[in-house]
């Protein structure tokens, strides 16, 4: 597996403006310490199938509408590949699934509709927050476009060096998967 690519994982402002992105992101990170659990609607799940276990990721915070507040806020790797959501996930992540449903209309949490729940997905990332001396990284790349969930940054792209250097400073050497 080529692990030189860094996948930018885009987290956008929820459609329901009463739910704040920071609040939802905190909830995604609090359900399993050191991990980020992403419950995904069908379109995001379909886009996430390109991510394989141990692929490197950087978490983009801010979406496409507010270009001034976009940053890379965490670095890490795919811990558990995308899989179909199961009804048991609603019990495993009750608060997160309810908040996700409030934030994104169309995210299904009604156990009476298991076929709709299964169309959604779950992916888990191992993430690290940058130490204060490193800090978050203002977005050095173009995008994301509206609806873009994952952006591959490859060697040879002008922004790769800056993102790769930041990723290597944020993720502890002893935590990088072999």
Quick: pLDDT tens for 55-83: 999 999 875 555 556 889 999 999 999 99
Give the pLDDT mean for 138-157: 87
Listed range (22-31, 45-54, 72-81) with the worst mean pLDDT: 22-31
Supply the pLDDT for residue 71. Answer: 86
CB 128 within 8 A of CB 171: yes
Supply the pLDDT for residue 28. Answer: 92
> Could you tell me the sign of the dihedral formed by the alpha carbons of 96, 102, 105, 110, in that order?
positive
Q: Which helix (H) or strand (E) holds 62?
A: none
| Beta strand segments in 31-143, E | 35-40, 56-61, 71-84, 121-128, 137-138
pLDDT band at 138 (very low <50, low <70, confident <90, very high): confident
CB 79 within 8 A of CB 29: no
SS3 content of the chain, % helix, strand, coil (to 5): 30, 25, 45
Q: Is the pLDDT assigned to residue 109 strictly greater than 60?
A: yes
Q: At 70, phi and psi to the nearest 5?
A: -90, 130
Bridge partners, 83 (sequence order): 122
Q: Give the pLDDT confidence of 98-107 residue by residue, as tens digits.
A: 999 998 888 8
- Domains of the chain with CATH codes: 6-175 (3.10.590)
Mention every residue, 6+ apart, whose C-beta is less than 8 A from residue 7: 50, 51, 55, 56, 57, 58, 150, 151, 152, 153
Supply the pLDDT for residue 67. Answer: 57
Angle at which helices 94-103 and 21-30 cross, to 10°: 160
């Amino acid at each position: 597996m080529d692990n030189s690519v860094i996948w930018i994982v885009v987290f956008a402002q929820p459609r329901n403006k009463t739910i704040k992105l920071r609040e939802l992101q905190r909830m995604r990170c609090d359900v399993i310490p050191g991990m980020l659990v992403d419950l995904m609607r069908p379109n995001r799940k379909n886009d996430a199938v390109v991510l394989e276990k141990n692929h490197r990721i950087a978490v983009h915070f801010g979406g496409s509408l507010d270009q001034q507040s976009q940053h890379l806020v965490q670095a890490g790797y795919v811990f558990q590949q995308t899989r179909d959501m199961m009804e048991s996930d609603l019990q495993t992540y009750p608060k997160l699934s309810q908040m996700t449903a409030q934030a994104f209309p169309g995210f299904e949490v009604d156990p009476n509709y298991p076929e709709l729940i299964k169309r959604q997905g779950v992916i888990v990332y191992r993430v690290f927050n940058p130490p204060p001396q490193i800090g978050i990284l203002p977005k050095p790349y173009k995008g994301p476009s509206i609806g873009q969930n994952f952006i591959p940054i490859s060697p040879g792209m002008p922004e790769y060096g800056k993102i790769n250097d930041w990723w290597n400073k944020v993720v502890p050497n002893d935590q990088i998967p072999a």
